[in-house]
């Protein structure tokens, strides 16, 4: 890929508007959906040997927290985003 | 509550805390820094009653706590990321003191510096693709066709219709999966690195259509608009799919030295 100028990243977690009118993609401009956030903060990020939480890292945080998610799926769905019905066409 | 724990948000080269002074972190305190080996850890003092090992095990299963904590963690990381490259820590990285953090910075210094080099000037974008109601649509039309021909007879006709319907569904599924591969390949051309996450379950997305692609792309920050345009173009080329673009994110999915998200 071409190397662009070394600009400082603009990291506001809202989204750009696609340059042309299209019915898709749906772009979240509001609050970040919790599922997307958890994909990143639980599955991403660097794991180091934390003094306190090393044992928890072993347990596999993703799985631990997934239990919380699934048991509260309805609550999460409400909080996620209103993407449920963007009528496709 | 007396903090005995130190929550680590991210590792960076240097940070000006002034712009983040008004942000309250996961434990409600201001963030501060621990520096060593030319690197800076952005941290917060947290009480072990809430953030100790036992408490964390319990709290991580409490969705309200998890959401509030994840958002607070992200808010700090996002604010610091505006100043320059950083390596985000996974949620719930808690140390018992500044000294072990300094040791970690020293021991892992080469890894962190290499990760910061890869990340500099880049941001993460997410693209999710859903198979947009295709199976239901073909099912509906088959049922409608059948109903419009009353008396066309018997079980055989029904079975034939049913077979056609299942074949159509299978083909549609194969096509959508192929489309997901095409989309990922096309979008990867824009990215320095990519990472494919596990698709999110429908009960978590709240969208009935199955997710067939959940990918992250590490892009030069200047390429965001091109990338969004490419996603829009692909959405037009694949009307059977619904595409969602999220970002820009701090490089959560690309924080590791191997591109797989882990230094350990």
Do residues B25 and B32 make contact, with C-beta atoms less than 8 angstroms apart? no
Structural domain boundaries, residue B241: 123-135+170-254
- Interface A–B counts its CB contacts (< 8 A) at 263
Whether residue B242 sits in one domain with residue B129: yes
Does B184 reside within a domain?
yes
Whether residue B190 sits in one domain with residue B110: no
Do residues A68 and B66 make contact, with C-beta atoms less than 8 angstroms apart? yes
| ipTM given for this complex | 0.80
Over residues B71-82, the pLDDT tens digits come to 999 999 999 999
Do residues B102 and A48 make contact, with C-beta atoms less than 8 angstroms apart? no
CA A13, CA A11: separation in Å to the nearest integer? 6
B244: burial class by Cβ within 10 Å (0-12, 13-18, 19+)? buried
Does B72 reside within a domain?
yes
Does A1 reside within a domain?
no
Q: Which tokens is B142 given?
A: 């088959």
| Cβ-based contacts of A13 with chain B (< 8 Å) | 74, 78, 246-249
Does A29 reside within a domain?
no
Does B152 reside within a domain?
no
Whether residue B37 sits in one domain with residue B9: yes
Closest residue to A25, CB basis, from B206, B235, B253: B235
pLDDT for B237 equals 92
Residue A32's alpha-carbon distances to A16, A57, B22, B93, in angstroms, are: 14, 25, 21, 22
* Chain B from 10 to 49: CB within 8 A of any A CB: 11, 48
| Cβ-based contacts of B248 with chain A (< 8 Å) | 9-13
Whether residue B36 sits in one domain with residue B62: yes
Assign B45 to helix, strand or coil. Answer: strand
Confidence of residue B41 (pLDDT cuts 50, 70, 90): very high
Confidence of residue B68 (pLDDT cuts 50, 70, 90): very high
pLDDT for B143 equals 46
What is the rounded average pLDDT for all residues in chain A?
A: 56
Closest residue to A6, CB basis, from B121, B201, B242: B121
Do residues B54 and B30 make contact, with C-beta atoms less than 8 angstroms apart? no
Confidence of residue A15 (pLDDT cuts 50, 70, 90): very low
Whether residue B198 sits in one domain with residue B94: no
Does B159 reside within a domain?
no
CA B79, CA B83: separation in Å to the nearest integer? 8
pLDDT for B12 equals 97
Higher pLDDT residue, B134 or B37?
B37
Average pLDDT over residues B87-92: 92
Query: Which of B85, B120, B155 is the last residue in one of the domains?
Result: B120
Higher pLDDT residue, B238 or B139?
B238
CA B176, CA A66: separation in Å to the nearest integer? 27
Q: Which tokens is A27 given?
A: 């772009």
Indicate if the pLDDT at residue B188 is higher than 80.
Answer: yes
Whether residue B57 sits in one domain with residue B37: yes
> Chain A contact for B116, CB < 8 A?
no
Dihedral over alpha carbons B93, B44, B256, B187 (to 10 degrees): 110
Does A16 reside within a domain?
no
CB contact (8 A) between residue B74 and residue A37: yes
The pairing of strands B94-95 and B86-88 is: unpaired
CB contact (8 A) between residue B60 and residue A72: no
Closest residue to A51, CB basis, from B11, B91, B100: B100
Whether residue B115 sits in one domain with residue B207: no
Does A19 reside within a domain?
no
Quick one: what percent of chain B has pLDDT higher than 90?
62
Whether residue B237 sits in one domain with residue B193: yes
The CATH number of the domain holding residue B229 is 3.30.70.1710
> Chain A contact for B173, CB < 8 A?
no
Query: Which of B93, B120, B147 is the last residue in one of the domains?
Result: B120
Indicate if the pLDDT at residue A4 is higher than 60.
Answer: no
Q: Which tokens is B183 given?
A: 């989309």
* Total domains present in chain A: 1
Whether residue B110 sits in one domain with residue B130: no
Lowest mean pLDDT among A34-48, A75-89, B240-254: A75-89
pLDDT for A5 equals 43
Nearest to B215 by CA among B127, B132, B122: B127
CB contact (8 A) between residue A11 and residue B205: no
Quick one: what percent of chain B has pLDDT higher than 70?
89
Confidence of residue B26 (pLDDT cuts 50, 70, 90): very high
User: Which H helix or E strand runs over B34?
Assistant: strand B32-36
Higher pLDDT residue, A12 or B107?
B107
Assign B223 to helix, strand or coil. Answer: helix
Does B141 reside within a domain?
no
Q: Measure in Å the smallest separation between the Cα of B27 and chain A Cα atoms.
A: 16
CA B229, CA A22: separation in Å to the nearest integer? 10
* Total domains present in chain B: 2
Question: How long, in residues, is chain A?
Answer: 89
Structural domain boundaries, residue A50: 34-81
Confidence of residue A82 (pLDDT cuts 50, 70, 90): very low
Indicate if the pLDDT at residue B186 is higher than 90.
Answer: yes
Confidence of residue B57 (pLDDT cuts 50, 70, 90): confident
CA B63, CA B79: separation in Å to the nearest integer? 24
């Amino acid at each position: 890929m071409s190397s662009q100028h070394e600009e400082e990243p603009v990291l506001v977690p809202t989204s750009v508007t696609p340059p042309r009118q299209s019915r898709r993609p749906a772009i979240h401009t509001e609050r970040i959906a919790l599922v997307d956030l958890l994909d990143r903060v639980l599955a991403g990020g660097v794991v180091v040997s934390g003094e306190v939480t090393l044992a928890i890292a072993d347990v596999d945080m993703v799985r631990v927290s997934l239990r919380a998610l699934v048991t509260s799926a309805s609550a999460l769905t409400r909080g996620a985003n209103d993407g449920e019905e963007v009528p496709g066409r | 509550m007396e903090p005995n724990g130190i929550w680590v948000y991210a590792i960076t080269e240097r940070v000006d805390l002034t712009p983040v002074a008004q942000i309250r972190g996961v434990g409600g305190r201001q963030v501060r820094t621990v520096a060593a080996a030319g690197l800076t850890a952005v941290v917060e003092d947290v009480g072990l009653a809430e953030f100790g090992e036992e408490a964390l095990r319990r709290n991580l299963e409490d969705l309200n706590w998890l959401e509030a904590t994840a958002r607070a963690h992200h808010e700090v990381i996002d604010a610091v990321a505006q100043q320059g490259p950083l390596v985000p820590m996974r949620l719930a990285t808690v140390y018992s003191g500044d000294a072990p953090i300094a040791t970690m910075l020293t021991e892992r210094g080469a890894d962190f510096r290499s990760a910061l080099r890869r990340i500099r000037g880049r941001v993460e974008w997410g693209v999710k693709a859903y198979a947009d109601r295709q199976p239901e649509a073909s099912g509906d039309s088959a049922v409608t066709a059948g109903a419009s021909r009353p008396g066309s007879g018997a079980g055989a006709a029904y079975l034939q219709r049913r077979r056609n319907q299942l074949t159509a569904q299978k083909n549609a599924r194969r096509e959508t999966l192929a489309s997901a591969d095409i989309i990922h390949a096309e979008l990867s051309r824009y990215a320095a690195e990519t990472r494919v996450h596990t698709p999110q379950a429908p009960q978590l997305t709240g969208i009935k259509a199955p997710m067939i692609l959940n990918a992250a792309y590490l892009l030069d920050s200047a390429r965001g608009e091109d990338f969004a345009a490419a996603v829009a173009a692909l959405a037009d080329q694949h009307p059977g799919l619904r595409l969602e673009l999220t970002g820009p994110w701090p490089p959560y999915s690309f924080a590791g030295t191997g591109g797989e998200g882990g230094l350990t």
